[in-house]
Structure 1
């Protein structure tokens, strides 16, 4: 029997507490960043929506281009040092943006280069984080560790969205970006304080980057449950990006009451992610991937309710359900990967996971506007909900998804006699 009090006992572990603090503070900086960057750029003299688009694209492209390389780096080098370097690189990028905006020297190439630093750092940080958790958390407490890390990051997302907007209003985008940079720097210092045992660091024979990528692909593609769910998520993310990024705000503007209504939707989803941690701490399914995929089905609920012109309260409730379900999925998925993938390949496999899951997202954003014009906003939203449902049901056809079982819990060792 698991208890919440027992789960919180993991916080007494110094290394886990440091990692949790670092990731919580880093996510707070990340939650500050979008508001600070968007309004900081838009408030520049002569800036237009195109200016912001160029800067955001410069930030987003390296996330895709360097994700696989980030996985190789995190499997070759001590992961805590890779994660520390990523945090400091993120801090450098945002400090550079802040200095440019506060001094008024803001050439677009320089802004884009600074934004690209944060994109590279994100591409390197995610695979390193996936791999370092099993090095810090005991195997039998991996799910608890992932859930607690998720709780810290979800709370930071909510707090950062509120505090970031307030900082921009009171002090301006430049100072808000400086605060973000300071948070990343603090997170980097905390990661640097981790004391990893020599045996926990990845090692082994060194190969070329292409060889490492090929070996990582072999680990990824040889497990049906991984590539099937990643393919499912590539379609789901495409649909959710379209509905959350374009179609939902359009409908909110036309018939739900504008920005306040859409803020309620996002708040409902954010609160759901926090509540989802409580579920994921207790849930110990024998078939974790099957249960994780089943939790994706309710993810279509808020998009379908938007398409059906349902009352706002029900749409917000649907967003809450989405937040709960996606958080549970994330914890079960991450824990299963950490248990099933060899430690020396884990970061590379997670980089393929990240790349595959996100690669169709920009397509969803690109097609959302034309789809709304041709079919109408409501019909396009219902189409997005249908993609979520159909892609999830299709993944359930996979024996690998249905049949993968969690390892049996180990019996506690008898204490040695004095």
Structure 2
């Protein structure tokens, strides 16, 4: 049996998908589309379920923190496990837990008077599934494409995933307005069930000997060495620990409150989130044809627009203005995302990827539970508008600081990389003069 990096790489004549998009890549993309259709609406539904139950801004923050705290607790374990056992088994198990927890949450909202502790418990179970799923999923996706196709493959995957997010956010907001949040949560549970079934059909052969003589702690130490010896990696993880925290607090707590009080309810907020998704599609389309040589320099510059939605909510802008801010920030973060995934694919050995991905996720979400839990008290202490302006300033400051790291500015695409991840020595690639054939210009991120 051929490895997942090359399995089904040949496409019969008349097949519409690209030659490099094999069976596993297609299954992973289809499953991601289905889960994003459900989860984007479910995030809005959970916020409005708390509000419908009489919850305050502080309660919204506690439910959001309950979702993200398990990420901090279990991500590193999930990454180590995903480098030991078949990654698609981890993904299917995580999808099963997500399906059961979201189904119970939906039943609770539809049939009774949900209590705050019940909603926190069920969202915590969903977050636990996500903690095991994310490192395995990234490792699985990166193992399905070769280096020469990675930029296009990641862009197409993210474009499909975020396109589903547009529909999920817009449809979820509309369904909440008409049917209530319970039915949106039920749809999310069904989406996890379908996606898990698709991922069970992944055809996976081991790409490396994953037998381990040590335990999980040994695996985690090996992953930590991969991270700490790469300044570009640990510095951007630290940057995103701040960025994800403040953007998450703005989206999960302040956004729904501004929508309720000043924008007209869940439907306008769903529309704004949908425009963020439209922006990510625009960024993915750009990255299908643009291959910037300075991967992380360009990517990091495109993180600055993430400050715009918080500033727009602080004013607050009318719905159309907020949608513009969301579109620009979505395009920017998608350019970063594709360049980031390409950098990891190029620099990190495949057999250690899930552990490195777990440290990436762990650092990025480590402050998110604290930020969402403190969002309500911060609003009481400083005011909602002032708290949102603080979120915007922190995004700009963290992003400016990471540009001081030379490896972030200098890590360079290896244009002729053909065989997937390169066992990097721990430093950014040298900065050679690009061949004439490698130059490209942005097309009309």
Provide the rounded CA distance (Å) in 2 between the counterparts of 1:251 and 1:110: 25
Note if 1:24 corresponds to 2:72.
no
The residue aligned with 1:229 is 236
> How big is the shift at 1:27?
1.8
- Paired with 2:378 and 2:120, the residues of 1 have a C-alpha distance of 30
1:136 match: secondary structure:
coil
Which of the pair is proportionally richer in helix?
1
1:82 is matched with which residue? 90
1:39 is displaced (CA, Å) by: 5.1
Partner of 2:103: 95
For 2:227, the equivalent position in structure 1 comes to 220
- Kept after mapping to 1: 8 A contact 2:65/2:369: no
Structure 1 residue 178 corresponds to structure 2 residue 173: no
Q: Distance in 1 between matches of 2:108 and 2:263?
A: 39
1:324 aligns with 2:361: no
User: C-alpha displacement at 1:319, in angstroms?
Assistant: 2.1
2:164 corresponds to: 156
Q: What number of residue pairs does the alignment pair up? A: 404
Change (3 A) 1:137 1:116: same
Q: Cα distance, 1:128 vs. partner?
A: 0.4
Structure 2 residue 361 is the aligned partner of structure 1 residue 391: no
Taking the aligned partners of 1:125 and 1:329, their CA distance within structure 2 comes to 22
Tell me how far 1:384 sits from its aligned partner.
3.0
Once the two structures are overlaid, the 10-residue window that deviates more, 236-245 or 222-231, is 236-245
Residue number in structure 2 paired with 1:282: 289
Runs (5+) with no aligned partner, structure 2 = 1-14, 420-445
Equivalent residues in 2 for 1:186-201, closer than 5 Å: 186-198=194-206, 200=207
Q: How big is the shift at 1:212?
A: 1.4
The one-character-per-residue Cα deviations of 1:283-324 (angstroms, maximum 9, x if unpaired) are: 211110111111112333444455566676444322211010
Please tell me whether residue 359 in structure 1 is matched to residue 374 in structure 2. Answer: no
CA gap of 1:75–1:111, structure 2 versus 1, over 3 A, is same
Q: RMSD between aligned alpha carbons?
A: 3.4
Q: 1:262-295 CA deviation, whole Å, 9 max, x = no partner? A: 5554333222112111112122111101111111
CA deviation profile, 1:115-147 (whole Å, cap 9, x unmatched)? 433221100110001101122122211222221
1:239-258 alignment runs, 5 A limit: 239-247=246-254
Question: Among residues 6, 17, 22, which one is paired with 1:13 in the alignment?
Answer: 22
Q: 2:348 — aligned with what?
A: 341
**What is the CA–CA distance in structure 2 between the aligned matches of 1:260 and 1:69, rounded to whole Å?**
38
Report what 1:295 is aligned to.
302
Q: Contact 1:130 / 1:338 at 8 angstroms: preserved in 2? A: no
The whole-number CA distance in structure 2 between the counterparts of 1:222 and 1:196 is 30
Question: For the Cα contact (< 8 Å) 1:131–1:338, is it kept in 2?
Answer: no
2:146 to 105, 116, 138: 138
Which stretch shows the higher mean deviation, 86-95 or 345-354?
86-95
Cα distance in 2, alignment partners of residues 342 and 280 from structure 1: 24
TM-score under structure 2 length normalisation: 0.79
Give runs of aligned pairs for residues 110-149 of structure 1, distance below 5 A: 113-149=121-157
Q: Is the 8 A contact 2:172 2:184 kept in 1?
A: yes
